[in-house]
A and B are shown apart, each in its own frame.
Chain A
Amino acid sequence: MENNKSVMVFIEYTGESIAEVSLELICKGKELADKLRVPLEAVAVGFGKSLRSELIRLGQYGCKNVYFTEDERLKNFSSVPYAKAVVETLKRVKPQIVLFGATTTGRDLAPRVASTLKCGLTADCTDLQLGEHQIKGQTFSNTLLQIRPAFGGNIVATIVSPEHSPSMATVREGVMGINPPSGKEEHQATIIEEKISFDASCDFPSEIIEIIKSERSVDLKKAKIIVAAGMGAASAETMVLVKELARVIGAEVAVSRPVVDAGILGHDHQVGQTGTTVRPTLYIACGISGQIQHRAGMAESKRIIAINRDPQAPIFSIAHYGIVGDVKDVIPKMIKAYKNK
């Protein structure tokens, strides 16, 4: 598959709106497309008028065309038919770069698509750039540099896949920023109807018996202030203090992974590599040692206060303010100081 065409983004639909991560990738995709001087396009699979009108609105983010496979049987994500539809679009349109959100859908769909196309796919990229790469004396310019942590987050690798097109990457929600839409109704993406013929006898091997939606109890990504508890602050009485501090200063409560594993709070409160990546204005880390997997999820907070009894805790190396002390002792002082400010 040789080509040198568009930058394409897979659009994921939550059932109510386009997933935030898809919009973030549309914005990043636009930036890459502009540098490459090619169009930004999108590929979507699903069903319904409301999805259709959201896809048209992608024009306000600079998206030119949306290749849309619509079928009532595709209302909810299913691996085989979604992969089939995306593959057919990619084979025909031949984009040079394809981006997917690193969601449960994206991490199911993208590898299957890459396997069919025999192209490279890099998962959970934390940055995407364009650059040059040499292989056996051949120079590839403007190839996608796919940057991601590996080895449990202990290294950052730059991956390239210039010899096979497209270069594909998945990116987690909250990693790329969103630019606001133009707000102009006339900026509309063109929907190109993809006519994929599905074989009912073999293209729908999964049957969705039931979908159990659970309300997210917290949206950490939107929080401006976060009070986070690690295992050093996870006792019942300390968690009461953590929650009280959060209440008083108007913060959300987050936890590190071991605290989730211990069943103290749910996964949607988890900050870290396998949880949510957050960028609040203020992150107060209570009893968190600062393992790399946790730091990966909060290192870009504007201000970080670390409270830990251990002066050697790695968290102090990225904190702006460090307090060596017992969380049970420090939090009440903070609450008092804030009320008396």
Chain B
Amino acid sequence: MKIIVTTKQVPDTHNIVGDAMRPDGTVNRSALPTIFNPEDLNALEEALKLKEKIPSAHITAITMGPPKAMDVLRDSLYRGADDVILLSDGRFAGADTLATSYALKCAVQKLGAFDLIFCGRQAIDGDTAQVGPQLAEKLGINQITNVCEVVAIDEGHHTITVKRSTEYGEEIVKSNFPVLITITSSANDPRPASAKRMMIYKNIGKKSDAASYTDSAELTWTRDLPAPYINYIKEWNLESVGADPELCGLNGSPTKVKKIQNVVLVAGEAKMVASDEAGISSLVKELVSEHILAG
């Protein structure tokens, strides 16, 4: 069973400190630590749980990003992924979800046949939850979103049954392979990296698809590891996945950012109320007289 997990390296937007936000509203990304997008970790964990049930399953983690995004691929290897792909090209930069899902589609097609794609529901920088469904549409496969549990898997019959949460409760949904599933943070608690795998993979580098790369970027790789370990992270660019440059990056993005504004904290205008009985009592009386609290 072949499982593909899409992963993303994101700035840690839930812990914005210091000079990450410039006064003009732009983001100083270099001031922000990067992390493995949390729900992508949940997606990888769900794949690893399936692999525990079905040891012959093969998990490939793929990320579209600059070379630094290799961090999440190494992390994926530490946690148990079998193979990882770095999809990297300057021409992918500035992509919105449509252009991103297009590039990912090209890479997935290069990977060949697959049974399942697990995606995190959404990334904490864009917060759109769009790439998963758009990737599914481009691949012409089924999608099930907002999944909080994998209920059953039947490798023989090529079906998966999942639980998805909705505003009204939950649904149990079954689908044939291939299907793309987006996974939420409530699905699991991601396992930590394995110390053994960290030792094996901590210096693993990338190697580009020689046929497509013309520049002499440094090719570094680990020592000669026996199967099932991999020796290098495969790096694919626009040509190696057969992508059309017009459909990638800024060119391929129908949405454009017109303006960005920093969310500015308005300087404290709170009327400070003493925490003693007198202060609180007069606050309550004021709210009652204004009919904010029922009298």
A residues bordering B, Cβ < 8 Å?
14-15, 76, 79-80, 83, 103-105, 107-108, 110-112, 114-116, 118-124, 133, 135, 145-146, 149-161, 163-164, 205-214, 225, 249-250, 281-282, 292-293, 302-303, 305-306, 314, 316-326, 329-330, 333-334, 336-338, 340-341
Are B255 and A160 in touch, CB under 8 angstroms? yes
Nearest neighbor of B282 in chain A, beta-carbon distance: A337
Chain B residues lying within 8 Å of A14, measured Cβ to Cβ, are 168
Interface majority SS (helix, strand, loop, mixed), chain B: mixed
Jot down 9 A-B pairs with beta carbons below 8 A, ordered by A: A121-B255, A151-B125, A154-B27, A155-B21, A156-B263, A157-B261, A158-B259, A282-B293, A322-B270
Question: Which residues of A lie under 8 Å from residue B263 when comparing CB positions?
Answer: 149, 153-156, 292
Contact A213 B168 (CB under 8 A): yes
Interface size on B, residues (CB 8 A): 82
Chain A residues, Cβ within 8 Å of B281 = 333, 337, 340
Residue of chain B at shortest CB distance from A249:
B293
Chain B residues with Cβ below 8 Å from A104 are 145-146, 164-167
> Which of B25, B124, B172, B259 sits near A152, CB closer than 8 Å?
B124
Pairwise interchain contact B27-A155, C-beta atoms closer than 8 A: yes
B53 at interface by CB-CB < 8 Å:
no
**A236 vs B142: C-alpha distance when bound (angstroms):** 44
Most chain B Cβ neighbours within 10 Å, of A121, A249, A320, A336: A121
Determine if B113 is an interface residue (Cβ-Cβ < 8 Å).
no
Contacts of B270 in A (CB 8 A): 306, 316-317, 319-322
Contacts of A206 in B (CB 8 A): 142, 144, 173-175
B283 interface hit (Cβ, 8 Å): yes
Pairs A-B, 3 closest by C-beta atoms: A152-B13, A325-B275, A322-B270
User: Are A337 and B259 CB-contacts (below 8 A) given A124-B127, A212-B169?
Assistant: no
User: Which listed residue, B134, B174, B266, B269, touches A115 by the CB 8 Å rule?
Assistant: B134
Residue of A nearest to B15 (CB): A152
Once the chains bind, are B98 and A115 in contact (CB under 8 Å)?
yes
Given contacts A150-B126, A282-B287, A336-B277, contact A212 B259 (CB under 8 A): no
**Which residues of B line the A interface, CB within 8 A?**
11, 13-14, 16, 20-21, 25, 27, 96-98, 101, 124-134, 136-138, 142-146, 161, 164-176, 179, 253-263, 265-277, 279-281, 283-285, 287-288, 292-295
The answer to whether residues A330 and B255 also contact, given A108-B145, A207-B173, A210-B171 and a CB cut-off of 8 A, is: no
Kindly report which residue of chain B lies nearest to residue A79, judged by CB atoms.
B143
- Nearest B residue to A169 by beta-carbon distance? B255
Residue contact A330 to B144, C-beta cutoff 8 Å: no
Q: Are A159 and B255 in contact, with the CB atoms below 8 A?
A: yes
A113 and chain B: residue at smallest CB distance: B137
In the complex, the answer to whether B13 meets A334 with C-beta atoms within 8 Å is no
User: Complex formed: what's the CA distance from A341 to B21 in Å?
Assistant: 46
Q: Please name all residues of chain A whose beta carbon is closer than 8 Å to the beta carbon of B295 when the two chains form the complex.
A: 341
Q: B275 to chain A: closest CB distance in Å?
A: 3
Cβ–Cβ < 8 Å partners of B288 in chain A: 338, 341
What residues on A are CB-neighbors of B260 within 8 Å?
A: 155-158
Supply 4 further A-B pairs (C-beta < 8 A) apart from A146-B255, A156-B261. Answer: A133-B256, A208-B173, A214-B168, A321-B271
**CB atoms of B268 and A316 under 8 A apart:** yes
Cβ–Cβ contact A324 & B275, under 8 A = yes
In angstroms, how far is the closest chain A Cβ from the Cβ of B92? 17
Q: Which residues of B contact A149 (CB under 8 A)?
A: 127, 263
Query: Could you say which of A135, A206, A212, A322 has the most chain B C-beta atoms within 10 Å of its C-beta?
Result: A206
Q: Is the CB of B284 within 8 A of A154?
A: no
Is the beta-carbon distance between A157 and B259 smaller than 8 angstroms?
A: yes
- Distance, CA A290 to CA B20, complexed state (A): 19
Minimal Cβ-Cβ distance residue in B for A132: B258
Given contacts A104-B167, A156-B263, whether A321 and B13 have CB atoms under 8 Å apart is no
> Contact at A112–B143, with CB atoms within 8 Å?
yes
Assembly CA distance A152 to B257 (angstroms): 17
Judging by beta carbons under 8 Å apart, are B146 and A108 in contact?
Answer: yes
